[in-house]
């Protein structure tokens, strides 16, 4: 359970606790192939904001934002895999394997619903921050559904629960692609691989086939607008 620490939801912690004998004996969790939905977040123009704030004020402001994201992810039964400075990498569908398309679809819907709630909560935070003279921000979210490998990374002295694979990379690239193409407080991009599991439940706008950094093949990208 220490592997994920405070980032684990009760459901995730319970699943790891059931694997404690393997973890204690081997000192690690073996790699496991899963189908999951990966979610990345990032603050638009964070570098500029960080240059304009005293470090102690920046940390307090950022933690208020990250606490909102953390709670929202847990509300939708996701797991926070790591904090990436001003962003978060989260996953829906780990560490317990999904064995049906319905389960995979449920995770995909949870991830997209989570992103939409993040948007709502950020709008509320901005309203709180503005009269306090704190920066109001926009954020970006990238979501992708596909195969990954999950397991422990590191050695006995320090282990992390790692998620690896092309699906992770694509989710990250969706978050960061065409950064200036944003008008809403929260831009949510998904690929067709996620859309096929959530179609008809969310209003989306097609961005067409797009090149993503590090990808030879074009990716069919959609912007999520709202829940139907």
Report how many domains make up the chain: 1
Mean pLDDT computed over 15-31: 63
pLDDT digits (tens, 9 = 90+) for 52-80: 999 999 999 999 999 999 999 999 999 99
Neighbour tally for 84: CB within 10 Å: 13
Closest CA to 5 of 157, 159, 114, 163: 159
Q: Judge contact between 212 and 219, C-beta under 8 A.
A: yes
DSSP letters for 82-110: EEETTEEEEEES-SSPP-SHHHHHHHHHH
pLDDT digits (tens, 9 = 90+) for 77-131: 999 999 989 999 999 998 888 989 999 999 999 999 999 999 999 999 999 999 9
Find the Cα–Cα–Cα–Cα dihedral 41, 45, 50, 51, rounded to 10°: 160
Q: For all residues of the chain together, what is the average pLDDT? A: 89
Domain that holds residue 146: 5-227
> The tokens of 38 are what?
């990966």
pLDDT digits (tens, 9 = 90+) for 170-193: 999 999 999 999 999 999 999 999
Residue 21: predicted pLDDT: 64
Residue 6: predicted pLDDT: 44
Whichever domain contains 43, its CATH number is 3.30.70.1230
């Amino acid at each position: 359970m220490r592997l994920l620490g405070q980032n684990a939801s009760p459901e995730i912690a319970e699943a790891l606790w059931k694997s404690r004998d393997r973890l204690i004996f081997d000192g690690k969790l073996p790699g496991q192939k899963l189908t999951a939905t990966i979610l990345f977040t990032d603050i638009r123009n964070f570098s500029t904001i960080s240059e304009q704030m005293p470090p102690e004020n920046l940390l307090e402001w950022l933690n208020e934002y990250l606490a909102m994201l953390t709670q929202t992810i847990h509300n939708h039964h996701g797991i926070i895999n790591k904090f990436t400075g001003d962003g978060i990498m989260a996953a829906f569908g780990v560490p317990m394997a999904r064995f049906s398309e319905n389960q995979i679809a449920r995770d995909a819907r949870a991830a997209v619903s989570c992103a939409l709630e993040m948007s709502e909560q950020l709008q509320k935070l901005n309203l709180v921050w503005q009269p306090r003279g704190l920066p109001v921000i926009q954020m970006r979210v990238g979501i992708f559904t596909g195969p990954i490998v999950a397991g422990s990374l590191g050695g006995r002295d320090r282990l992390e629960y790692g998620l690896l694979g092309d699906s992770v990379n694509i989710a990250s690239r969706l978050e960061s692609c065409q950064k200036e193409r944003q008008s809403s407080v929260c831009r949510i991009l998904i690929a067709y691989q996620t859309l096929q599991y959530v179609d008809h439940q969310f209003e989306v706008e097609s961005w067409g086939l797009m090149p993503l950094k590090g990808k030879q093949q074009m990716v069919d990208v959609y912007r999520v607008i709202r829940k139907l």
